[in-house]
Amino acid sequence: MTKASIWSTLKKYKMLYLMLLPGMLFFIIFSYLPMYGIVIAFQDYKPAYGLQGMINNPVWVGLEHFKDFFSSYYFARILGNTVIIFFLKMLIGFPAPIILALMLNELKNRVYKKAVQTITYMPHFLSMVIVTSIVVLLLNPSNGIINQIIMKLGKDPVYFLADTRYIRSILVIMGTWMGIGWGSILYLAAFAGINPELYENAQIEGAGKFQQVIYITLPSISFIISITLILSMGSILSYGYEDILLLYSPPVYEKVDIIDTFIYREGLLVSRYSYGAAVGFFRNAIGLIMVILTNFLAKKFGNQGIW
């Protein structure tokens, strides 16, 4: 493409490119420019040094922080917890929006359908502090509604948030509840693009609702499911720490202490910024590898990839 054709294209679609500009600036300022800060993972950086200590007079330590992390007493525990919680979340949370979208797609009453959609979307817009506060109130061992029911049945109250048997399940269920409605929007939009004649032909052939879902609906949105799965795998070690940080306590550290909470403690609370950056670099590198691997496998099995 010549410079003249590029300029004519920009001039022709100037309003569209102008609308694109704020999004581009956002990612450049808050995503791409801060990438340079990853160099402190290979330095002995102190905040007092400022930018000068990062750029002009860096104290390079190479892979020392990575070695410290891999040899740490907590390495196996936090890595195992992160992977386990992620796959539990994927096992429950990934298919949940698909199932909800399938159910909503079958509803004929538009008023009821819109009401269900609105109710299921709402948790997504709630602050994590509010959601965890609701969970704490529900599971309170003395006056929480769950333990009130348990005590009415003649059982002793259960300290759910301090019990290693329940804490992971609570986190996964809470995350699924917050994201199920919002996640279903994408699949509902994909359903709208399915040719209605496919269902009509299936009904003529005697296919029931379940068979239509298995042989028409799911194959028709397989590309969306594939892309969503690939992007989700990028966060295999990036679960997020807000909900865990607000709910966990020393008795359950061994089950829910993950890489993100470890970075928070070591990088911010202990002020080991370079060490925290090294752990974050490792986490993101694994996420990138998982995206590439999942994309390769998806295309290998004939599904849509992201490139």
pLDDT digits (tens, 9 = 90+) for 29-88: 988 888 888 888 998 888 777 777 777 778 888 899 999 999 988 899 999 999 999 999
Tell me how far CA of residue 18 lies from CA of 21, 23, 242, 257, in angstroms.
Answer: 5, 10, 35, 44
- CB of 259 closer than 8 Å to CB of 277: no
Question: Whole-angstrom Cα distance, residue 151 to residue 124?
Answer: 32
- Local structure of residue 31 (DSSP, 8 states): I
3-state secondary structure of 43: strand
* Topology at the third CATH level for domain 75-264+278-300: MetI-like fold (1.10.3720)
Break the chain into its structural domains and give their ranges.
Answer: 75-264+278-300
Range list of H helices, 106-156: 110-121, 128-139, 145-152
Residue 30 corresponds to which tokens in the numbers above?
């808050």
pLDDT digits (tens, 9 = 90+) for 54-68: 777 788 888 999 999
Q: What is the pTM of this model?
A: 0.84
